[in-house]
């Protein structure tokens, strides 16, 4: 690959691609992505994109729904800005060729938990696939964009690589590009950039059960943390209430849009339980529904609850939810006649790399956008379908920052090539797979939907041990994706545990049995 680009984009989901397309009008763009280009959280998004496109809806209503879900921790200015810009981004996507579901000529709007109106723009139940296809088609055709699949960013390049000490007291000030592993060749490239855009997505894989695909190992958050960029709100991990419970289903998501379509939650005796937890019942925000399910499972000793949409006909369900219908069918379940066994699974990290509304991080030359970030939009709990919206809006706002910073920077030729002298091909791979499994189980058992000081202390002790073992392994080994990912997952786990430990209250997605109520003096983001 080339050794320099004006704009280096890490990640080919909605955030990375829509930014790449915009800055490609102004300079050379390299997009690196660690698997096939489409493999991203974006590609699996089902429900849709929240946007005020119906005349009967209002910006104010969407803002208020977002603030309520965020449980007092959203930045209202950011919320307003993102909500206001949503409709324009939807129109742009349509102009670029996205084929969203329609009723007549108008967009068909779905409904999801926490929304007071039908406002979810969608492409049946595979919205992310349509967004990803639209953006990728254009990126592939753009003369200024080069796409590098199976290229893994190992580390952001900062002053640390020029021999300066980077520490908590002396954080990196500049980003000069990234070290990129060509996975097929096994070679690490030094790639210089005037501006690096971190669009690496989420970290659901840190948990044993997750709706996220394998790419979601939190690499961007971990790399930014090592460069001592500001990180915030990592305790707020969203558990989606309804992932399919089946030994072969790998936590396949059953979209909230199914509940928006009238599906009810029942326990294994067939009793509907949500109305006794919240007056909004199945359409309460996700944290409430996930905790209610968790409570039912613990009280009753059950392994799952049921989602019931058997009041709908097969044709209706196949029309609205073709992907989900097919997946259920492949496991012997007919949604129109069978109850669907579901459990919560880790879905979305509301915290991440701190940016302003123009995608600027605390490091010059490093922008960030999408699920990797903390912008203030989601607060203590993300409102359904607000994350694709955030990625699409912030990636466009990032353009002005990118152009300005690129104008202020030149390529830093003093950056050395990657040095792997003294390392060897590792023989003990079992350590990597064992530590990865252990980490994911520790996070699931001790840092899940319901937490306590005792469990968090345990998790911290285990995480520290895993960190020490893995760092030693990393230092001795030739660089490889599994080891880098494990290292990053451990860093993200540490950030979640540490942030959860300092929050002495329950709010939004963070629930502690030791501090079961919200506390006004704790109503602020957790910055690291
Ligand atoms: P992603 O789309 O995850 O892209 C990240 C990219 O970074 C990938 O290309 C990945 O390969 C690459 N990458 C990561 N690390 C590295 C590295 N070290 N080197 C190189 N490349 C790297 N949100 C909604 O708003 N509406 C929905 O309906 C919805 N449904 C969802 C359903 C599911 C099953 C899931 C998992 C999520 C859903 N979400 C939804 C959340 C939403 O999809 C994501 O938050 C959003 O798509 C994130 O976009 P992104 O561009 O930030 O990251
Ligand atoms: C879903 O379709 O339920 C997921 C929506 C989201 O995560 O925003």
Residue with tokens 């397309």: 21
In testing the pocket of ligand 1, which one of 9, 12, 13 has its CB within 8 Å of the most ligand atoms?
Answer: 13
CB of 40 closer than 6 angstroms to any ligand 1 atom: yes
Cα of 318 to ligand 1 centre, how many Å? Answer: 26
- Ligand that lies nearest to the alpha carbon of residue 370, given by its number in the listed order: 1
Closest ligand 1 atom number to CA of residue 387: 25
Q: Is 113 in the pocket of ligand 1 (CB under 6 A)?
A: no
Sequence-distant (6+) residues with CB within 8 A of 274 are: 264, 265, 281, 282, 284, 289, 292
| Residue-level pLDDT at 249 | 87
**Nearest alpha carbon, ligand 2 atom 1:** 255
> Using CA atoms, how far apart are residues 91 and 98, in angstroms rounded to an integer?
9
- Of 261, 297, 263, 291, the C-alpha closest to 278 is 291
Q: How many CB atoms lie within 10 A of CB 380?
A: 27
Q: What are phi and psi of 49, to 5 degrees?
A: -125, 125
Closest ligand (CA of 69): 2
The span from the CA of 445 to the CA of 87, in Å, is: 40
Which candidate, 10, 12, 26, places its Cα nearest to that of 131? 12
253 CB contacts (<8 Å, ≥6 apart)?
Answer: 44, 46, 211, 240, 242, 243, 244, 345, 347
Distance between CA atoms of 49 and 327, rounded to whole angstroms?
A: 22
Is the distance from the beta carbon of residue 371 to the nearest atom of ligand 1 less than 6 Å?
yes
Rounded to whole angstroms, how far apart are CA atoms 185 and 151? 10
Q: Which ligand is nearest to the CA of 260?
A: 2
The CATH number corresponding to 430-517 among 1.20.58.100, 2.30.30.100, 3.40.50.1820, 2.160.20.10 equals: 1.20.58.100
Ligand 2 centroid–CA 345 distance in Å is 12
Q: Could you tell me the maximum CA-CA distance found in the chain, to the nearest angstrom?
A: 68
Sign, CA torsion 478/483/487/492: positive
* Residue 256 Cβ contacting ligand 2 at under 6 Å: yes
pLDDT at 428: 81
Place of tokens 């961007």: 220
The CB of 255 under 6 Å from ligand 2? The reply is: yes
How far, in Å, is the centroid of ligand 2 from the Cα of 253?
8
Protein residue with least CA distance to atom 6, ligand 1: 11
State the CB neighbour count (10 A cutoff) for residue 53: 17
pTM above 0.85, yes or no: yes
Cα-trace Rg, the chain: 22
Report phi then psi at 364, rounded to 5: -65, 135
Instruction: Give me 224's structure tokens.
Output: 């930014």
Out of 3.90.700.10, 3.40.50.11260, 3.40.50.300, 3.20.20.70, which CATH number does the structure's domain 241-344 have?
Answer: 3.90.700.10
> Contact at 8 Å (CB) between 140 and 36?
no
Cα gap 110→120, rounded to integer Å: 5
286 is known as an active-site residue: yes
Homologous superfamily in CATH for domain 4-46+128-235+350-408: FAD/NAD(P)-binding domain (3.50.50.60)
50 vs 388: CA distance, rounded Å:
8
Location of each CATH 1.20.58.100 domain in the chain: 430-517
Averaged over successive runs of 10 residues, the pLDDT of the chain (528 residues) comes to 96 98 98 97 97 97 97 98 98 97 95 94 97 98 98 97 91 95 97 98 97 98 97 98 92 94 97 97 93 94 96 96 97 97 97 98 98 98 97 98 96 96 86 96 96 98 97 94 97 98 98 98 97
Q: Is residue 79 within 6 Å of ligand 2 at its C-beta? A: no
Residue 210's pLDDT is 97
Phi, psi of 373 (to 5 degrees): -100, 165
User: What are the start and end residues of each CATH 3.50.50.60 domain in the chain?
Assistant: 4-46+128-235+350-408
On the CB side of 485, how many CA atoms lie within 13 Å of its CA?
21
Residue nearest to atom 42 of ligand 1 (CA): 42
Q: What is the C-alpha separation between 202 and 30, in angstroms, rounded?
A: 21
Residue minimizing CA distance to atom 30 of ligand 1: 45
The pLDDT, as a whole number, for residue 95 is 97
Q: Kindly give, in sequence order, each residue whose CB lies less than 8 Å from that of residue 31, ignoring residues fewer than 6 positions away.
A: 9, 11, 12, 16, 17, 20, 37, 139, 145, 146, 147, 148
Alpha carbon 424 to chain centroid, angstroms: 33
The DSSP element (H or E) to which 19 belongs, if any, is: helix 14-23
Which residues of the chain form CATH 3.90.700.10? Answer: 241-344
Residue 127 C-alpha to ligand 2 middle, in angstroms? Answer: 10
Environment class of residue 523 by beta-carbon count within 10 Å: exposed (0-12), middle (13-18) or buried (19+)? middle
Closest CA to 190 of 405, 423, 424, 5: 5
End-to-end CA distance of the chain: 35
pLDDT value at position 248? 87
Neighbours of 141 (CB within 10 A): 8
174's tokens: 């500049």
């Amino acid at each position: 690959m080339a050794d320099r680009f004006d704009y280096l984009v890490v990640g080919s989901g909605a955030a990375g691609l829509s930014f790449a397309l915009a800055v490609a009008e102004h300079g050379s763009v390299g997009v690196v992505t660690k698997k096939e280009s489409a493999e991203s959280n974006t590609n699996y998004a089902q429900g849709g994109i929240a946007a005020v496109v119906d005349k009967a809806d209002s910006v104010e209503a969407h803002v208020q729904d977002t603030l309520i879900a965020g449980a007092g921790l959203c930045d209202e200015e950011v919320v307003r800005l993102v909500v206001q810009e949503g409709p324009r981004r939807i129109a742009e996507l349509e102009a670029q060729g996205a084929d969203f579901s329609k009723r007549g000529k108008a967009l068909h709007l779905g409904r999801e938990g926490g929304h007071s109106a039908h406002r979810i723009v969608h492409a049946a139940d595979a919205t992310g696939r349509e967004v990803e296809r639209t953006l990728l088609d254009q990126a592939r055709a753009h003369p200024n964009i080069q796409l590098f699949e199976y290229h893994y960013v190992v580390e952001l390049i900062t002053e640390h690589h020029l021999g300066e000490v980077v520490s908590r007291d002396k954080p990196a000030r500049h980003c000069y590009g990234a070290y990129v592993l060509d996975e097929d060749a096994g070679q690490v490239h030094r790639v210089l950039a005037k501006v690096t855009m971190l669009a690496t997505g989420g970290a659901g894989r840190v948990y044993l059960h997750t709706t996220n695909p394998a790419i979601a190992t939190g690499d961007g958050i971990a790399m930014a943390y090592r460069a001592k960029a500001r990180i915030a709100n990592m305790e707020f991990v969203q558990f989606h209430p309804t992932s399919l419970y089946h030994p072969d289903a790998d936590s396949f998501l059953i979209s909230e849009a199914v509940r928006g379509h009238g599906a009810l939650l029942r326990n294994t005796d067939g009793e509907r339980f949500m109305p006794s937890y919240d007056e909004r019942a199945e359409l309460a925000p996700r944290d409430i529904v996930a905790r209610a399910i968790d409570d039912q499972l613990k009280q009753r000793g059950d392994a799952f609850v049921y989602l019931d949409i058997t009041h709908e006909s097969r044709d209706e369900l196949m029309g609205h939810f073709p992907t989900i219908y097919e997946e259920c069918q492949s496991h012997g379940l007919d949604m129109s006649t069978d109850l669907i066994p579901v459990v919560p699974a880790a879905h979305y990290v509301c915290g991440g790399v701190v940016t302003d509304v123009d995608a600027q991080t605390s490091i010059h030359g490093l922008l960030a956008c999408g699920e990797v970030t903390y912008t203030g939009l989601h607060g203590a709990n993300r409102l359904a379908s607000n994350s694709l919206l955030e990625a699409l809006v912030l990636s466009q706002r990032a353009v002005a920052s990118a152009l300005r910073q690129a104008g202020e920077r030149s390529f830093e030729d003093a950056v050395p090539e990657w040095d792997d002298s003294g390392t060897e091909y590792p023989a003990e791979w079992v350590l990597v797979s064992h530590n990865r499994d252990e980490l994911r189980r520790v996070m699931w058992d001790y840092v899940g939907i319901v937490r306590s000081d005792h469990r968090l202390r345990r998790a911290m002790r285990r995480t520290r041990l895993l960190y020490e073992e893995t760092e030693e392994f990393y230092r001795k080994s030739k660089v490889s994706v599994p080891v880098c990912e494990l290292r990053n997952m451990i860093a993200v786990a540490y950030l979640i545990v540490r942030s959860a430990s300092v929050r002495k209250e329950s709010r939004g997605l963070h629930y502690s049995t030791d501090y079961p109520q919200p506390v006004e003096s704790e109503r602020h983001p957790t910055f690291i």
